Amino acid sequence: MTYDVAIVGGSYAGMAAGLQLAQTRRKVVVVDAGQPRNRFASHSRGFLTQDGKPPREIAAAGYAELAQYSTVEWRKGHVETITGQKDDFTLLLASQQGGE
């Protein structure tokens, strides 16, 4: 598959980037290995409007916003290598023999 943008990592930063790109009608793939660094924390602290919420809930709300856009595809997996050059990159996932 070919996309305008591939985002490696679908936690808060990746989803925020994906949302901006979706709103500008880009075809986007988000590849996420599902290991956010705050996965061991039980609640957020000092995050305006999200204080006291478990990280998983915040991430789920972000995912739901992205899922509203048909131009955004979500792939679970780990990007092993990225090859190519400007405007023509290929991502190889750990689960794949070939790139995509």
User: What Cα–Cα distance (Å) separates residue 81 from each residue in 48, 56, 94?
Assistant: 36, 28, 9
By beta-carbon proximity to ligand FAD, the closer residue of 34 and 84 is: 34
Asked if residue 66 binds ligand FAD (CB under 6 A), the reply is no
Question: What are the structure tokens assigned to 83, written together?
Answer: 């090859």
Asked if residue 47 binds ligand FAD (CB under 6 A), the reply is yes
Q: In this chain, which of 1, 2, 42, 46 binds ligand FAD, going by CB under 6 A?
A: 46
For the bound state, the minimum distance from the C-beta of residue 15 to ligand FAD, rounded and expressed in Å, comes to 7
Check if the beta carbon of residue 79 is closer than 8 Å to that of residue 93. yes
Asked if residue 12 binds ligand FAD (CB under 6 A), the reply is yes
Q: In this chain, which of 1, 2, 37, 42 binds ligand FAD, going by CB under 6 A?
A: 37
Check if the beta carbon of residue 10 is closer than 8 Å to that of residue 31. yes
Range list of β-strands (E), 1-100: 5-8, 28-32, 72-76, 79-85, 88-93
Q: Which range in 11-19, 20-28, 64-72 contacts ligand FAD by CB under 6 A?
A: 11-19
Q: How far apart are CA 70 and CA 62, in angstroms?
A: 15
Asked if residue 44 binds ligand FAD (CB under 6 A), the reply is yes
